[in-house]
Chains A and B, each alone.
Chain A
Amino acid sequence: MATESENLESLVNRRYEHGFVTEIETETLPPGLNEGVVRAISARKNEPEWLLEWRLQAYRQWLEMEEPEWAHLHYPKIEYDEISYFSAPKSDDDRPKSLDEVDPKLLETYDKLGIPLHERARLAGVAVDAVFDSVSVATTFKEKLSDAGVIFCSFSEAVIEHPELVRKYLGTVVPRRDNYFAALNSAVFSDGSFVYIPKGVRCPMELSTYFRINAANTGQFERTLIIAEEGSHVSYLEGCTAPMRDENQLHAAIVELIALDDAEIKYSTVQNWYPGDENGVGGIYNFVTKRGDCRGANSKISWTQVETGSAITWKYPSCLLRGANSVGEFYSVAVTNNMQQADTGTKMIHIGPNTRSTIVSKGISAGKAQQSYRGLVRVMPQAHGARNHTQCDSLLIGKDCGAHTFPYMEIKNPSAKIEHEATTSKISANQLFYCRQRGISEEDAVNMIVNGFCKEVFKELPMEFAVEAQALLNVSLEGAVG
């Protein structure tokens, strides 16, 4: 017992030591956005003057910008003045004391997804002492990482501890005024992750595992910055297959990746935010800007995403292929069911010579959902020998959903080799009957066919997540047929 209470105590202290959970205990800021709010956010994080100035410039730029309307998405106008841009994390007193107090439906979902027991409590927002196990595991990971020289901490912590790195790279991939949501995020970003892999270091573990059990509520304006120095390698997994509870409807995140010479970044996302009910009420709006910069020669950035959540998804993880021989990859599975809408895809910008990119997009629509793939392949005049292969497949379940493809190509160098393949298919009644005649239930048959359809993307995910992602798809499509 003694050791346990000791551990508990050190754990509680650790919360304040490390930045993933901020120690601000003040209440939520009143709704509305103005310079005062930006200053207040910056002040609460003890940010240096240059960062406050950076945020303020972003805010001023945002004021001059218009919300984009080109996406194939329909949603009510967002009232930016009705949103609160900073809210204190819930105190432990307001949280469930144990899993017994958590909505049984949520627990049932965890079960279906095969989420390990020790992670369920944290995901469900149970007060910290009940989640003890997982955090101690996280501490072990942290030591292992620092032995390798890897910096992995919250964004706020990085601003304080490694200001020179943050200042050097922040906004160099996604400039403040890149787009409306990027400008908004730059002004009011709440927190996020910072990763720095030193020269020649191969990160000793998938950052997935660590992140999954350590990511507290980072708020609705998340900001992530990953820097891979020359010859380094990192695999990072964001998000979680479990449905996350979140009261904020608008999410506008930014992810910036920088790969220097011979470096490789693999960034995997599993996104399963609340999609709203069958009528589309109450779901999350997810407007994300994700971009990777292959700044160095022979560098490689690979995006893999499995998107099943959110009511509205607006997301185009992209690669700037600047270094000679650099490689960009985008593997995506997007599932939309009921009233969900997604406009998602990628941009591959070929700037350096002999740059290569691969796009594999698998879209699945069911219910009344609408899904669009929007992809841009741009080959700049100086990008000799650029190559791209795009494969874009849609699978429809039922007759009320839709799939749309908007491929854009801008080729300004005649030596480029560009291939584009696209298919649209339906799960046919005959396929389902065939499976049922073999004893497989209709739901299992749909899952089997969908998983077969997505196989090429799942194999790009870190092993343990591929299994969970499959389960996630099954849960997301429950009741899609019938």
Chain B
Amino acid sequence: MLEINNLKSRIGDTEILRGLSLSVNPGEVHAIMGPNGSGKSTLAQVVAGHQDYEVTGGSVTYKGQDLLELEPEERAREGIFLGFQYPVEIPGVNNAYLLKAALNAKRKHAGLDEIDAFEFLKTAREKMATLDMDPKFLNRGVNEGFSGGEKKRNEILQMAMLEPELAILDETDSGLDIDALKAVANGVNSLRNPDRAIVLVTHYQRLLDYIEPDFVHVLSEGQIIKSGDKSLALELEEKGYDWVREAASA
């Protein structure tokens, strides 16, 4: 589904990704771990198409097409979802409006009619219930005055509504208390299915107690230096990132 090959990218003059390769198939859950500054978030932003990141080498193929040729909105309509580490506030635009616009953009792309207003509300309310969110949320401005936990839940709600094929969640666990973490993990787990791939970008192994990954990758200085199964995450937790780095350079 997603083939990243020797990807190099920089922001301004700083090179961040230095030859990163990763292969993700439908149904898989990948965890990308690594210390601060290793390039985890950059990877997420480059796949989503953020204009500040310049791709200087390598390739990214998604469902057989050259992903780097597509505009960010085209990538989204093709099924790529990025759960932001820092979701932005858009004052005055209510959540329901944004959600509906996003959903309809995707439906239009797929040749479907716009979603029926009643159907939309019904689905949104159901999904919100599983995330333990107050239905009043829909009428508030997008992320406007939301707490950190509310913002992250909101990202998961959007993901649940948009039903992406490839979801990349960038540090969705950061700044969450345990209840919010569980709610978010529940939301993610309920979306696991054989057609959907999920990439979790995270700093801590804590999230992986709730969402069990199929693969764990360790990122350091813009490259994946070690891959393994979920036991790698536990080992990392115990021995720290230096252990992998030393092992890799040895």
Task: Point out residues on A near B: beta carbons under 8 Å.
Answer: 425, 428-431, 433-442, 444, 448-449, 451-455
Contacts and interface: CB of A to CB of B under 8 A. Distances in A.
A436 B72 contact: yes
B73 interface: yes
A436 B101 contact: no
A436 B102 contact: no
Q: Which 4 A-B pairs have the closest CB atoms?
A: A452-B92, A452-B93, A438-B102, A439-B76
A429 B105 contact: no
B73 A431 contact: no
Interface in B3-58: 48-52
Given A440-B105, A444-B101, A433 B50 contact: yes
Contacts of B82: 437
Contacts, number: 78
Contacts of A439: 73, 76-77, 102, 105-106, 109, 162
Contacts of A455: 92
Nearest to A455: B92
B93 A440 contact: no
A440 B88 contact: no
Interface residues of B, number: 31
Given A430-B88, A444-B101, A452-B92, A436 B71 contact: yes
Interface in B117-174: 141, 158, 162
Contact of B90 (A436, A437, A452): A452
B98 interface: yes
Contact of B141 (A430, A435, A440, A452): A452
A436 B73 contact: yes
Contact of A440 (B48, B49, B81, B101): B101
B91 interface: yes
Contact of A448 (B51, B84, B87, B97): B97
Given A437-B49, A439-B106, A451-B92, 18 more contacts: A430-B88, A433-B51, A433-B72, A434-B84, A434-B87, A434-B88, A434-B90, A437-B72, A437-B75, A437-B76, A439-B162, A440-B102, A440-B105, A441-B73, A441-B105, A442-B73, A448-B97, A452-B94
Interface string B170-212: 0000000000000000000000000000000000000000000
B137 to A, nearest CB: 16
Nearest to B48: A437
Contact of B92 (A438, A444, A453): A453
Nearest to A448: B93
Nearest to B78: A439
B88 A431 contact: yes
A448 B102 CA distance: 11
